[in-house]
Each structure stands twice: as structure tokens, then as C-alpha cells.
């Protein structure tokens, strides 16, 4: 038994003598809005009690046993939901309708019919409800898109912050390294100066004076007319000038 607003035989499996076609089931949701339900119900007459069933209900037994039950159960189930909930709760609704129909069929005296399957094929909503659902879906998609964009922006911001922090840390390490190098160089130079200062003594200075005086003596042997200027205390260097050549000046370093 097929309940449909537009017949689609390709979705119906033929059993027994064929298919009984009925209009889609018109029901009201929890708020009284009209909804159309399309179903396919598959069943078979119990062979052992078939003569008694036909004798009791007549040749139109399907319209008296199956059809009223399907419509009543479908109206009862759909009436518990708001129209906009129906698409999201389609599986739950399909299970409730099949369980309700099966229970009602099995409760028939003598169980004249065996229910095989109930297929919920389509839930046809009012045009306004469909438009409202579409608007909600679009809004949800926009919210999800915005949430995605915000999350991506946050990730980019965190990435840039991490890069900036890394660069700042690198500059800090580099500056610290340069400062340490300067410090080490200064400490090394100070240490060297200290050692040089510690190595200078009176005997060493006297030795340097003697060496410089020796160089002057050698110069005087070469140029006896040279003028010699000795700095006080005999410190070095001393300067001598060759009077024979007023343009020549010689400085003797230690």
C-alpha cells in the first residue's frame, strides 16, 4: 500500500496481487500546521486464516485493516513534533511510525495480517516552513563560516605572535652574545695589561735605559756633532739631532 502525492513505482516492491495506491497522509504538527507524509507499507495476508478474514472484512479487507491503522498511527506520531523538527528527526519518526503500525496490526483479533516493512518516503512541509528551515540553515552555515574565519584569524595571530616572539628572542640572544664577547675581550685586555704592569720593574727599566744609552753611544761615534736631548729621569725615548743635516730627525724607540 503506497501513500504518495506523486506515484513513483520504481520505489515500491510489488508483492502478492499488486499495489494499492492511496493519497499522501495529511496530518497536523504539534502547532496545527498541515504536513503531508508519504509512506509505503508492505504486508501479506495470513494464509491459514485468509478465508475467515475475507469472509469477515470482505474483499476490501486492506482498506479496513491496514489503511485506518497507518493513518491513525502516522497522525499520532507527527502530532508530537513541530514541523521544522521533522526533517532533523526523520529516523526517529520513521521508527515510531513502524513500531506503532506493527503493534496495532498484531493486536488485530486472530492476527489476519503480517506486517513486513514500513518505509517513510517523504515528509512534505508547508512552503513557509520550508523557507524558514532554509533561512535557518543559511544562517547556521553563515555562523559556521564566521566561526571558521575567526578561528583561522586567531591561528594566524598566534602564528605571527610566535614568530615575533622568536625573532625578539633571537635578537636578545644575539645581543647577549655580543655583550658577552665584548666583556670577555675587555677582561682579556685588562688581564693582559695587568700582567704587563706586573712584569715592569726597576731593574727592567734600568736595563731598557742602558739599551737606549747604548744606541746613543753608537750614534755619537758616527756623528760626534749631534745634539742629544735627554728627558728627565732617563726615560725613553731620547732624541738626537744631526747638526750636519738640519732636515734630518731620527727618533730611536726602545
Q: Who has greater pLDDT, 22 or 150? A: 22
Q: Who has greater pLDDT, 233 or 55? A: 55
pLDDT at 9 over 80: no
Identify which of 96, 1, 93, 97 has the alpha carbon closest to the alpha carbon of residue 43: 1
Per-residue confidence (pLDDT) for residue 96, from 0 to 100: 96
Asked if residue 187 and residue 72 are part of one domain, the reply reads no
Per-residue confidence (pLDDT) for residue 253, from 0 to 100: 43
Per-residue confidence (pLDDT) for residue 213, from 0 to 100: 74
pLDDT at 119 over 90: yes
Asked if residue 23 and residue 101 are part of one domain, the reply reads yes
Asked if residue 12 and residue 74 are part of one domain, the reply reads yes
Asked if residue 219 and residue 161 are part of one domain, the reply reads no
Which of 66, 92, 125 lies at the terminal end of a domain, its last residue? 125
Per-residue confidence (pLDDT) for residue 74, from 0 to 100: 95
pLDDT at 230 over 60: no
| C-beta separation of 143 from 53 below 8 A | no
Which residues are CB-contacts of 125 (< 8 A; sequence separation ≥ 6)?
35, 83, 84, 86, 87, 133
Asked if residue 131 and residue 121 are part of one domain, the reply reads no
pLDDT at 251 over 50: no
Which residues are CB-contacts of 120 (< 8 A; sequence separation ≥ 6)?
37, 38, 39, 90, 93, 94, 97
Separation of CA 105 from chain center: 53
Per-residue confidence (pLDDT) for residue 24, from 0 to 100: 92
Kindly report the number of other CB atoms within 10 A of residue 4's CB atom: 21
Which of 125, 160, 178 lies at the terminal end of a domain, its last residue? 125
Which of 175, 199, 223 lies at the terminal end of a domain, its last residue? 199
Asked if residue 130 and residue 30 are part of one domain, the reply reads no
Identify which of 235, 247, 239 has the alpha carbon closest to the alpha carbon of residue 219: 239
The model's pLDDT over 133-145, given as tens digits with 9 standing for 90+, comes to: 677 766 777 787 7
Position 98 confidence tier, pLDDT thresholds 50, 70, 90: very high
What CATH code is carried by the domain that includes residue 94? 3.30.479.30
The model's pLDDT over 30-87, given as tens digits with 9 standing for 90+, comes to: 988 899 999 999 999 999 888 998 988 888 898 889 999 999 999 999 999 998 889 9
Asked if residue 212 and residue 194 are part of one domain, the reply reads no
| C-beta separation of 15 from 8 below 8 A | no
When divided into structural domains, the chain yields a total of 3
Q: 3-state SS string over the chain?
A: CEECCCCCHHHCCCECCECCEECCEEEECCCCCEEEEEEEEEEEECHHHHHHHHHHHCCCHHHHHCHHHHHHHHHHHHCCCCHHHCCCCHHHHHHHHHHHHHHHHHCCCCCCEEEEEEEEEEEECCHHHHHHHHHHHHHHHHHHHHHHHHHHHHHHHHHHHHHHHHHHHHHHHHHHHHHHHHHHHHHHHHHHHHHHHHHCCHHHHHHHHHHHHHHHHHHHHHCCCCEEECCHHHCCCCEEECCCCCCCEEECCC
Q: Domain of 190? A: 126-199
Asked if residue 70 and residue 20 are part of one domain, the reply reads yes
Per-residue confidence (pLDDT) for residue 196, from 0 to 100: 74
Q: Who has greater pLDDT, 54 or 189? A: 54
- For residues 60 and 22, give the distance between their C-alpha atoms in angstroms, rounded to a whole number: 14
Amino acid at each position: 500500500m503506497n501513500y504518495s502525492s506523486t506515484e513513483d513505482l520504481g520505489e515500491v516492491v510489488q508483492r502478492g496481487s499488486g499495489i494499492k495506491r492511496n493519497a499522501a497522509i495529511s496530518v497536523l504538527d504539534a502547532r496545527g500546521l498541515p504536513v503531508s507524509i508519504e509512506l509505503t507499507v508492505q504486508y501479506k495476508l495470513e494464509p491459514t486464516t485468509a478465508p475467515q478474514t475475507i469472509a469477515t472484512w470482505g474483499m476490501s479487507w486492506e482498506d479496513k485493516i491496514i489503511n485506518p491503522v497507518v493513518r491513525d498511527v502516522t497522525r499520532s506520531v507527527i502530532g508530537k513534533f513541530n514541523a521544522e523538527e521533522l526533517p532533523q528527526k526523520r529516523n526517529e519518526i520513521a521508527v515510531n511510525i513502524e513500531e506503532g503500525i506493527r503493534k496495532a496490526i498484531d493486536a488485530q483479533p486472530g492476527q489476519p495480517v503480517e506486517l513486513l516493512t514500513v518505509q517513510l518516503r517523504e515528509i512534505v512541509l508547508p512552503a513557509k516552513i520550508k523557507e524558514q528551515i532554509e533561512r535557518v540553515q543559511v544562517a547556521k552555515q553563515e555562523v559556521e563560516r564566521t566561526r571558521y574565519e575567526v578561528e583561522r584569524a586567531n591561528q594566524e595571530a598566534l602564528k605571527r605572535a610566535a614568530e615575533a616572539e622568536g625573532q625578539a628572542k633571537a635578537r636578545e640572544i644575539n645581543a647577549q652574545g655580543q655583550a658577552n664577547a665584548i666583556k670577555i675581550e675587555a677582561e682579556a685586555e685588562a688581564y693582559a695589561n695587568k700582567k704587563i704592569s706586573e712584569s715592569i720593574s726597576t731593574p727592567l727599566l734600568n736595563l731598557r735605559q742602558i739599551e737606549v744609552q747604548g744606541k746613543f753611544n753608537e750614534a755619537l761615534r758616527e756623528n760626534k756633532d749631534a745634539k742629544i736631548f735627554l728627558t728627565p729621569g732617563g726615560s725613553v725615548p731620547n732624541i738626537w739631532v744631526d747638526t750636519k743635516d738640519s732636515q734630518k730627525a731620527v727618533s730611536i724607540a726602545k
